[in-house]
Amino acid sequence: MSEALSQPVNFFQAKKGLFSWIFSTDHKRIGLLYFYAIISFFLVAMALGFLMRLELIAPGETIMDAKTYNQVFTLHGVIMIFLFLIPSVPAFFGNFFLPIMIGTDDVAFPKVNLMSWWLYVLGGIFALLTLVVGDGPADTGWTFYAPYSVKTGTNVTLAVLAAFILGFSSILTGLNFIVTIHRLRAPGMGWFKMPLFSWALYATAWIQLLATPIIGITLLMIVAERVFGVGLFDPALGGDPILYQHLFWIYSHPAVYIMVLPAMGLISEMIPTFAKRTIFGYKAIAYSSLAIAFIGYFVWGHHMFTSGMSGPARVIFSILTFLVAVPSAIKVFNWVATLYKGSIDVKTPLLYSMAFIFQFLIGGLTGLVIGALATDIHLHDTYFVVGHFHYVMFGGAGFAFFGALHYWFPKIWGKMYNERVSKIAFTLMFIGFNFLYFPMLILGIMGMPRRYYDYLEDFTTLNVISTVGSWVLIAGILLMIINLIRSNKTGEVATRNPWGGTTLEWQTPSPPPVHNFDATPVVPEGSPYDHKMNKTG
């Protein structure tokens, strides 16, 4: 069995059986375990989103009652944030590709890595348990604002514990990545020779590591408050609900950058590959990741402009919010400049990247609208905010995720996907997405508050458009999933480097062997994206 094979054993073939997966310490297998878990949760939460849109197609009760609706949007938000978007890119693509891209064979602490996955699963189980025990899932919104979260009879305690456990999973992933990047880069791989995806993960990891403990302890306080009936945040017992909001957003604002920074890293990989030229402004992009991560810690108050926070505090948080937009703008400009004088090959991942830029622009620019004091007073907690965050989270991070799924599909599964079908699926998703969320921005400006089960007649038309958009989006997503599953069975076998990429993962076979490489990878001399040096492909 262990004779030298011409084609080394890839990591799929190395061992068989369920246990060889769920107890594996191979970062590639752990990455895939995350992928399957994440995508399952994603489908569940999408189905919930779909149900919400059905309910909102007309005023009055359509398919569910008010309490159920409230539970549905809470579960939708909790799953999408804690179980899908926060782990998605780092835990799946990061685990799979970070060690390969910096030229090593695993993360620094493989066992800890496995433990993070188990914690993730445990947290997921807790979240799902809320469905079946007691009075059903929490109905507080994903923000768990006190004092309602202390008073309601639904399973808030369980949901909060789920978020707590998932937080620890996220911390351990971040810790692992930081040490990996510091200690395990291949010989010759200096900091500024790392692919930008590793830079993005590095910046993200610091947010995961240093922001998450705050939410952990805050959620524990909510549990204690519910269990012991003490008044940490409930004013009836002497607490202050606004302090809870501070603590919650100290984490949850940086958390939105946990969601988008790795996605930005993906875009920085895909664009140079398909433009067939080096990235424009490598250092600017790398530094702006760190800048976003750092400044992102100081802006949390922009979620509390109407909460009764003091006037001076509102002003300071508003100005800092505007400053954090600048590094994002720098990235966008550099990506677009990378397309200049390239030799562009319009493949599906590039289409996703372009959609990312367009949609992230809408999301980011609407972020500026709600970062300004006067306008946020009007728009806070309206559908404008819902539109904003779906544009950045789904239109941005989500689309980058799907783009990278196509980009690395050949590398992970060793097969080519069907290009024509994937483009049709992309088009449906793009159209559906914008029809679904653009109307929400207008609804918000008209004044429709969010978390509304029922609404006034005036808002009907736009809600109908939005719901119909969700159906087109479904069609696109389902087509994409079917296409990928089918391609995995029947697609052409992928070569090492089907796109002509320049980073190290393209130097190894597809799928990679157990120890990632079959020969010492050659770290390119100049920038990691030098296509000229790498003409052979």
Partner 1 sequence: MFSDASNFVQGVDTSFAIILGASVFFLVSITAVMVYFVIRYNKSKHPEAVDIHENKKLEITWTVIPTLLVLVMFYFGWMGYKPMRDIPDEGVHVKAYGQMWSWQFEYENGKSSDTLVVPIDEPVILDLISRDVLHSLYIPAFRIKEDVVPGRENKMWFIGQKVGDYDIFCAEYCGDRHSYMLSKVIVLPEEEYMKWYNDTTASADHPGLAVLKKNACISCHSLDGTRIVGPSFKGIWGHEAEVITNGEERTVMVDEEYIKRSIYEPNADVVKGFNQGLMISYQNLVTEEEIKDIIEYLKTLK
Partner 2 sequence: MANFVLANSGHNRDDEASKFGMWLFLFTELLLFGGLFLVYTIYRYLNSEAFLHASYELDVIMGTINTVVLLTSSLTVALSITAIQKGNVKLSLWLITATILFALTFLVIKYFEWSAKFEHGLFPGMDHYNHLEPAEKMFFFLYFFMTGLHGLHVVIGGALLGYIMWDIKKKEVTPQNYVFLENGGLYWHLVDIIWIFLFPLFYLIH
Partner 3 sequence: MANKNTSRHLPGDPEVHHIIPYKFHIGIWVGLIILTVMTVLVSVMGISLVAFSVITALIIASAKAVVVANYFMHLKYENKLITWLMGVTMLLFVVFIAFTAFDYITR
| CA atoms of 172 and 480, how far apart (whole Å) | 32
Three-state DSSP string of 278-319: CCCCHHHHHHHHHHHHHHHHHCHHHHCCCCCCCHHHHHHHHH
Token readout for 176 is 């692992």
CB of 529 to partner 3, least distance (A): 18
Position 250 contacts partner 3 (CB under 8 A): yes
| CA atoms of 402 and 379, how far apart (whole Å) | 30
Q: Which helix (H) or strand (E) holds 205?
A: helix 196-228
| CA atoms of 518 and 507, how far apart (whole Å) | 9
| CA atoms of 198 and 96, how far apart (whole Å) | 12
Position 97 contacts partner 3 (CB under 8 A): no
3-state secondary structure of 398: helix
Q: Which stretch binds ligand HEA (CB under 6 A): 224-232, 252-260, 274-282, 412-420?
A: 252-260
Position 253 contacts Cu ion (CB under 5 A): yes
Residue 135 or 518: which CB sits closer to partner 1? Answer: 135
Q: Are 314 and 373 spatial neighbours (Cβ–Cβ below 8 Å)? A: yes
Q: Which of 22, 243, 431, 468 binds partner 3 (CB under 8 A)?
A: 243
> Considering CB distances under 5 to 8 angstroms, the limit depending on partner class, which of partner 2, partner 1, ligand HEA, none binds residue 9?
partner 2
Position 531 contacts Cu ion (CB under 5 A): no
Q: Are 157 and 135 spatial neighbours (Cβ–Cβ below 8 Å)? A: no
> Considering CB distances under 5 to 8 angstroms, the limit depending on partner class, which of Cu ion, partner 1, ligand HEA, none binds residue 112?
none
> Considering CB distances under 5 to 8 angstroms, the limit depending on partner class, which of Cu ion, partner 1, partner 2, none binds residue 452?
partner 1
Residue 398 or 528: which CB sits closer to partner 2? Answer: 528
Q: Which stretch binds ligand HEA (CB under 6 A): 19-27, 41-49, 176-184, 505-513?
A: 41-49
Q: What are phi and psi of 305, to 5 degrees?
A: -65, -25
CB of 218 to partner 3, least distance (A): 12
Residue identified by tokens 């005023």 is 59
| CA atoms of 212 and 175, how far apart (whole Å) | 12
Position 409 contacts ligand HEA (CB under 6 A): no
Residues 94-133 that bind ligand HEA (CB under 6 A): none
Q: Which stretch binds partner 1 (CB under 8 A): 38-46, 213-221, 340-348, 399-407?
A: 340-348
3-state secondary structure of 502: coil
One-letter amino acid of 187: P
Q: Which of 322, 424, 471, 534 binds partner 1 (CB under 8 A)?
A: 322
- The residues, any chain, with a CB within 8 Å of residue 311's CB and separated by 6 or more, are none
Q: Annotate each residue in 373-402 with x if it binds ligand HEA (CB under 6 A) or - if it does not, as one string.
A: ---x---xx---xx-xxx-xxx-xxx----
Position 406 contacts Cu ion (CB under 5 A): no
How wide is the angle at C-alpha 95 spanned by C-alphas 91 and 97, nearest 5°? 130
Q: Which stretch binds ligand HEA (CB under 6 A): 21-29, 80-88, 120-128, 209-217?
A: 80-88
Q: Which of 40, 66, 182, 522 binds partner 2 (CB under 8 A)?
A: 182
Q: Which stretch binds partner 2 (CB under 8 A): 252-260, 453-461, 485-493, 507-515?
A: 507-515
Q: How far is CA 502 from the centre of its chain?
A: 25
Q: Are 297 and 365 spatial neighbours (Cβ–Cβ below 8 Å)? A: no
Contact positions vs partner 2 (CB under 8 A): 2-5, 8-9, 99, 103-110, 112, 171, 175-176, 178-180, 182-187, 209-210, 212-214, 216-218, 221, 224, 228-232, 237-240, 243, 246-247, 513-520
